[in-house]
Each structure stands twice: as C-alpha cells, then as structure tokens.
Structure 1
C-alpha cells in the first residue's frame, strides 16, 4: 500500500496542540470515508524524532486525494515515503485569500481556528455531496457565529457563508474588521450594512458583502457572498430560505462566560437548541449536514443526540471508522470538555 506522511502545522493554542495529531487523524479518516478513499488507514508515526500522520491507501493519491489532504485543518506538508527517503508531494492551494483573514483577529473566547476548520470539514464529509467543499459550491451557515471565525474560514475557501448572532457588539466588531481587512488588501468588493426590516418590523441589522480575490474575478462574477444577520437565531423566517444551505456548523454555548457573551452563554444550551433546531433544519437542504461543537459538561452527548433525532435529524458516524466514539473529544480547560456531533437531514 502506498504510504504518505503528513507533517502537521503547529497550533498557537498549546492545549489544543497536544491533541492535534489525534484530532487531525480522526478528521482525515472522516474525509477519506466521505470522499470514497477505499481502504484508507491513518496512524501516527515518528521518523527521526519528528511526528507525522501516516496515510495508507490502496492506490497512489490522485487529484482528489491530494485536495482532501490539502483541506485538512492542520496539514503543513505531505511526503511520499520511498524506503528511507521522503519525496515531497505538491498540494493544491485551496485558499483564495491571504491567511490573515482567519488568524488576525484576537479576542477573549475565540474558538481555535484549526478546530473550526476541522468541524467544517467533518460536517461537509457527511453530506450527500462532499465534493462541494473542494469546488466552492458548499453553502455554509453558522447560526451562532459570534465574531465570525466560521465565516472567515468559509470565505477563505471560496465558499458562500451566512452568519447569525443576536449580540450587536459581535456584529459591529465583525463588520468593522471585515471592511478594514478588505480595504487593506485592496480587494474589489461591495458592502451593504443596514437596518434589517421585514414586513415593517425591525429585526436587527444585516451585513451583505460581495468580494473576489482579483478585479478580473469580480468583473467575471466569480465572487463570494457573505451575509451576517444580527438577529434571533430561533426565528429566521423571511431571512434565510428553506433548503438553501448545505452545512450548518456552530459552537453551541459552552455554559461559561467569555467577555460580552456572558448572558447568552449562561443559558442552558439544550434548551436553546430545542428552540433553534426547527429553524435550522428548515433552512438545511435534504442531504445536508449539521455539525455542532459542544461542551460535554453542560450538554451530555446522549441528551444532545436524542434532541437532534427528535428534530428529524440522523446522527452520523462523524469519524468514519466508527471505532472510537471519543475520537474528537478533548479538553479545552477545566470547565470545557469539548466534542462534536454531526447529524444529517
């Protein structure tokens, strides 16, 4: 079997870095299963004192296989093993914009970017058409988007994205950041930041952005669309069309306070999800998937999966192999025992 060794990118988060090889291995297993990489096996290896993830496949990596590896949340480089030698393998560049779109924002309570990318990848792999993740066709919704880490990752991959959050401070901070970032990078774009009024009723604010990496792309209509709705995520009627998104990915409330999020995050997450899921499932297309990051301390896995099933969703085997139900579970701090769950519509 051909063997490729994947060198992982370092994580700025020291706690996350300790678990990254295991988490990225589970992510790769999920992507391999979603993209039909038959017989793929993943294991950690050490070579000359350096840690890698070994990917064993029945055949050499084709264009899709290389794109899958490139999509990983923490892939830095990949090598084909030839005896005692490593031959570098060129990976396609999936990002359309400078990396600082995702990394430049720093604030208390920000979710690790690698974890957010992993959550998006694993959720996309569970959809009926996972190839949309790689061809730019995936439509992403983060219904509790905060200051927009998911939105920025989706945008960087050339995907259309919608975010929803009731916290006006988060909306204003994200709007100011994105406008400044696009101007600094001299990207061709349009912005509409206005009061959100539906049927004469004020529902919050709406930021709508069209942007492209080059002027020629913008002129040709090869643009990304981003929308941020500062409104109640439990009521999206008239704001997001039914069956219009391919994946829903979000951090559910962890039950701890992070700056301005205190009131919202102090709420019981399962109660909030019970109110929000009817709208989230309405806007998710058939064949789409929902990926939720959650804190096991405040949302026990069995209770969460039962809630998803009660709203008509089918909980998926999000790590592909089905051998380890704790494949994505990891400690963030003493109050957060983080995991993810994926469910299909």
Structure 2
C-alpha cells in the first residue's frame, strides 16, 4: 500500500501507524489476520500487507489512507485496480475549509473501523449502511458517507452550522449538475416544534435517480439528547461522531464543552434507541477531557459492549498540546 499524502503535517506523521492499525482492525472483522509492516522501496515508503480472503482487496481499497495498491513481483510492483466506493466527486469532502474542521482521513478511518465492528461488516462494502452523526457540525461525516454511497442522518443544535451546510450542499449538487430534490422546513412532532431540518435525495446519474437508486442526506437542527419521534428506532447501523474536544473554535464554546462525558451520558439513550441490534457507536475523543477508562465505563453502563482496546489503543495520536486524540467503538448486542 502506498499511503495517501495528508495536508495536515501532524496527521501525516502518524498516518502510516494509523493506517496499519486500520488495516489490522478492519481485516480482522472479515476473519483475516494480516501481517503489516513498513518498507522502503527505492526511497519511497510503503506498507506491506500479507493477508488472504475475498474481502481483502475491496477492504483495503476503501481504507482512509489508501492511495494505491500493488502486488510484489520480484523487484517490480504490479498495480492492483482499486475497488473504491466513490459515487461522487471527491471535492464534496475537500472543498470546505473552516477553523476546527476535523481531518477528513481521520473521519473516514473512524467510520471504517466503526462499520467493520458491526455484526454485518459486509454492509460497509456493499453500500447497505445507514449512518448517523449526532453531533455533525458542518457535515464532514455526512459528506464522507454520501461519497461512499450510504444514506446518512446528521444532528446538530447549532443553527449556523445547519444553515451553512445546507447552503453548501445545495450549491455543490447544483454545480455538479446532479439530479436531486431538497426539502427544508420545521421539525414538529405532536404539534411541538423541535427545530429545523432538510432532506436531500440525490443520485450520481440521471438514470440512477429515475430508478430510485439514490442516497439521502437528512440534517436535523435539534437537541441531540432528544430524538424521539425524529429518528426512527432501530433504523441506524453506525453512529459516528467527533465528541467535544474541550477546545473552543470560533463562537462554539458552549457546544464544545470541557465536560463531554456529561453530554454523552445524557445523549446516549436517545442515540442507542436509533441503533439496530448489532450496530455500533464510534467516538473520536480527546483523552485530556474524556479519560478513556471513564468513557468505556459510561458506554458499558448504557448497555453497550466496548470492542476496541482503549487501554493500549493503536489509534491514539497527538494533534497538538491540548488534544490527545483517540477513538473507541462499542456495539449494541441486544
């Protein structure tokens, strides 16, 4: 594997190690035990992967750091065609730039690892996932899920983020001349106002749109701790989100609380209710403000089974002096 370059210098330094951890974690979900090691060939850094199974090439093709795959043939490298799930132009993910935006490769890694940990990891590769980001901000997770052909729901109480993302997505589909419909309005249940929402239905081609082979993005500008009547119970396969890092970006100090565990504890019942049995929750978090053992205990107290190693996590890496970033994944068994 040739690891994709990253525009983020700090993330680029950690990328090969994180890529190796992603490879091992994802392939393990398909019953493979890969041997992964770094190697230098003609002055270029690669990762060598020894693994077997029908899902190996499709899985490797869709990892966050995969730039190219090759098979060794003596002194030569033979390119392996990628089987990448990419239904829309990549600028859907890369074009937005704003302070506090999470690195796209890390968001994709979080989604991959969380999806592979479900009871049916094959849905990650066949496009059958229903994804939700319950603290979605300006939509990085939503864009990555849409790019891969999944339907996705986002939730965020910040009205500015909601308006900004709705405007971006509308402009983007129009610029790319994609057939779509977009509805915006108020969210109400039982006559009670719950916030605002929009739903975008889109397809990569006109023929796909005509036949109903579409993807849906739904964004709810509402309280993430109270989703009853807004998101159907047992309708989501994968919940992934960036939890508050305790670092203020712009005017979002209230939302980015220094007590993320309190927010997660309040929100978890609403999130779990939307999750299918066998579905998973994947959280990106800052160990400085959410100690790993406390976060794992909280997830278990809500009836989830933690499936990643939070004690000696291979995904832990330093973003800056204030952010010691990691991920944790837990599954709903019943």
In the alignment, what sits opposite 1:189? 180
Deviation at 1:326, TM superposition (A): 2.5
Q: Is the 8 A contact 2:195 2:222 kept in 1?
A: yes
State the SS of the aligned residue for 1:265.
coil
Query: TM-score, structure 1 length as denominator?
Result: 0.94
Structure 2 equivalent of residue 145 of structure 1? 136
Helix, strand or coil at the partner of 1:280: helix
- Pick aligned residue for 1:332 from 296, 301, 319: 319
Q: Distance in 2 between matches of 1:249 and 1:77?
A: 26
**Per-residue Cα deviation, 1:89-126 (whole angstroms, up to 9, x for no partner):** 11113100000000000000000000000000000110
Aligned residues: 332
Q: Hey, what does 1:200 align to over in structure 2?
A: 191
Match of 2:40 in 1: 46
Task: Please report how far the alpha carbon of residue 49 of structure 1 lies from its aligned counterpart in structure 2 after TM superposition.
Answer: 1.4
Equivalent positions of 1:1-345 (< 5 A) are 6-37=1-32, 39-57=33-51, 59=52, 62=54, 64-317=55-308, 325-345=312-332
Distance 2:308 2:244 in 1: 23
Give the Cα–Cα distance (whole angstroms) in 2 for the partners of residues 239 and 267 of structure 1: 28
Using the TM superposition, name which of 139-148 and 190-199 deviates more. 190-199
Q: Any idea what the Cα deviations from partners look like across 1:173-197, whole Å, max 9, x if unmatched?
A: 0000000000000000000011112
- CA deviation profile, 1:282-304 (whole Å, cap 9, x unmatched): 11111011000000000000000
Deviation for aligned residue 1:267: 4.4
Contact map agreement 2:258 2:289 (CA 8 A) in 1? no
Partners in 2 of 1:327 and 1:93 — Cα distance?
Answer: 25
C-alpha distance in 1 between matches for 2:104 and 2:301:
31
Match of 1:3 in 2: none
Tell me the C-alpha RMSD between the 2 structures: 1.2
Superposed displacement of residue 202, structure 1: 1.1
Q: Distance in 1 between matches of 2:102 and 2:128?
A: 25
**TM superposition score normalised by structure 2:** 0.97
More divergent stretch after superposition (13-22 vs 46-55): 46-55
Structure 2: distance between partners of 1:114 and 1:195 = 33
Give the Cα–Cα distance (whole angstroms) in 1 for the partners of residues 308 and 181 of structure 2. Answer: 40
The 1-side partners of 2:38 and 2:268 are apart by: 37
For residues 134-163 of structure 1, give each alpha carbon's deviation from its aligned partner in whole angstroms, at most 9, with x where no partner exists: 111001000000000000000000000000
- Measure the CA separation in 2 of the matches of 1:8 and 1:197: 46
Structure 1, unmatched stretches of 5+, are: 1-5
| Post-superposition offset of 1:41 | 1.4
Return the structure number with greater relative CO, CA threshold 8 A, min gap 6: 1
